[in-house]
Structure formats: structure tokens, C-alpha cells
Amino acid sequence: MAANKPVISTSFSYETLEETLDIKPHGAKLHIGIPKEIAFQENRVSLIPDAVSVLVSNGHEVTVEHNAGASSHYTDKEYAEAGAKIVYDRAEVMKAPILSKSAPVVEEDLPLLQLNQTIISPIHLSALKKEHIEKMMEKRITALSYENMKDASGTYPIVRSMSEIAGSAVMLIAGQYLSSFNKGKGVLLGGISGIPPTKVVIIGAGIVGEFATRNALALGASVKVFDNNVYRLKQLQNNLGQRVWTSVLEPRILAKQLKTCEVAVGALSNEFGRAPVVVTEEMVAAMRPGSIIIDVAIDRGGCFETSELTSHESPTFVQHDVIHY
């Protein structure tokens, strides 16, 4: 009698089968609200229609308050075509789990904030009142601050971008107020053969100072840069790819250069609070009549003793015959 042989089963087959691949799990769907900014003279919007389109195409939901982008020349129609939902009730857009803003949360919006909400915006912590912070803490708000966002290289990309814009705009504004059209001295910044260039003093060799220097040199001006950080002065020259006149902040030298300049730019910053005041009222009084001061650091107190906060409606004032912007 033949012995029973075991039956061996195998899954081997010559039949072509589908390849099994790892399926990437779907990410969480985000609901982002973009309220219209109501802060004083705030005309920006945090997300433009193109950015909204990218978010919507990736499966996220975006709610935009009516006319949120109007001051930045973006219509509700453009946002709607990008896939956003347009709402007319501010309270409704403020219910979104994530809020994206171009300005800090104002006191009027504190009652509209939701529990455990996430807000992506500038914070300006040093300017906030204690009560303001306490109310946000009570609602367990997660606040992501633009000015504190750092990338893998250790830099602050959003702050850098804003500083580049400010530095580039400075010299264009200076040229505008030096023109006779704005009751200025009626001079150009430079670049005219046979005519001495306009003299520009820039206080601060950071990102604002670097881009102000770039634009001033491109316009043909003679530029002198002051900063107490020698490393920054060296880095500025390396980034520009050329030698420029630089000096540490020695009061006697600074006062001498300010006496003969047409444009003075304040671009000093302080990571720990107020910007240092390095130009006294006496120095300003000794400047040429009709010259212009542009204090970019005014939001942190300003580098010039005579600097004051102004508005877009009235951006300048005159003190000691010097235009202050």
C-alpha cells in the first residue's frame, strides 16, 4: 500500500498580479479664515487669491470676509474664483479653527476668538497690553508669530522679506521728497555726469540698511554706512560686492557726516526692545535745510531723537527745517 504523500500548496503563479503599493494617508483638512483687517491704516491681506487657490486645490477650506483684500486691490470675485467662500458676517469668519492675518489681533476681535483657535499673524508682543495677552491665554489661543518664524538656516524669512521691501522703498521715498514737486530741495539722488552726487547717511547695516545702500548706490548717490557691529559692516560689503564708506557709531564722526548729507536713514534694530537713539536733536538742528530723515526704526522708538509716529494721511513733519518721514 502506497504511503499518503503530503499535499503542498503554493501561492506561486504565472498570472500577472497588481503591485501592492503603500497608500499615503490623506492629511488633515484645514479650515482657514481670512478676516478683513480693521487695525489703523492696515491695508494688507495675509493671503492673495493665488495662495488661496493652492490651499483649496490641496483639499483645504478657506473662508474670506467680504472686501478683505479690497485695500490690496484684490476683489471678492478673485477670491471666489480661487475657491474661497465669501462671507459678510465677521463673526462667521472668526469661527474658523485657523485665522490668517496681516496685523495683530485688535481688542475689538478678542470676544470673537474661539477656544483652542490658532492664529497666524504678527504678534508685536512688546506692544500688547497685559489684559490682551491674558484674554488670549484664557481662550488657549495658539499664536504663531510672523516675526519669530525661523527657517532651517536660522534666519527669519518673513522679517527679512519685509526688511528688504522697507530698505528698497526708502530711497524711492527720499527721492520723492527731495524733488521740488514736494517742496523739497529740487535735487536728484545722483548719477548725473559732472554733478556731485547726493550724500546719503545710513545708520544700521542690517537687511534694511543693506537694501537701502543697494538702491542708493544704484541711483548714483554717495553712501556712508554706520553701525557698531563691525561684522555686519563687513558682511554688508561682501553682499554688495564692493567697498563702501563705513564707520562705527562714533558721535563726532556721525555728526560731521549728518551736517553735509541730504538723506539720513535710521535702520538700527534691537532684538531686546527699543531701538537706540544715536542722533540727538542738536545733530538734527545742524543738518542742511530741506534734507530728509527717514526713520525706519520708528516702530521700535526710532534712532533719531526728533522722530515721531506719523500716518499715511500725513506722513511727514518739519523740525529744524529738516523733513521727517
Residues with active-site annotation: 124
Coil, helix or strand at residue 203? strand
Residue given cell 478676516 in the structure block: 35
Distance, C-alpha 286 to centroid of its chain: 33
Q: How many other CB atoms are there within 10 angstroms of residue 103's CB atom?
A: 18
In the beta sheet, which residues pair with residue 62?
32
Q: How many other CB atoms are there within 10 angstroms of residue 104's CB atom?
A: 21
Q: Which three cell numbers stand for residue 228?
A: 557698531
Alpha carbons 4 and 314: distance in angstroms, whole number: 104
Query: Which stretches within the chain are classed as H helix?
Result: 49-57, 76-81, 90-93, 130-138, 157-178, 207-218, 230-240, 251-259, 281-285
β-pairing, 98-100 vs 118-121, is parallel
Which DSSP letter does residue 98 get? E
- Residue 297 φ/ψ, nearest 5 degrees: -90, 15
Question: 156: exposed, middle or buried (C-beta count within 10 Å: 0-12, 13-18, 19+)?
Answer: middle
User: Any idea what the Cα angle at residue 320 is, between residues 317 and 321, rounded to 5°?
Assistant: 70
Task: Let me know: does 98 contact 33? Beta carbons within 8 Å.
Answer: yes
Alpha carbons 284 and 291: distance in angstroms, whole number: 10
In the beta sheet, which residues pair with residue 118?
98, 142
Residue given cell 545710513 in the structure block: 202
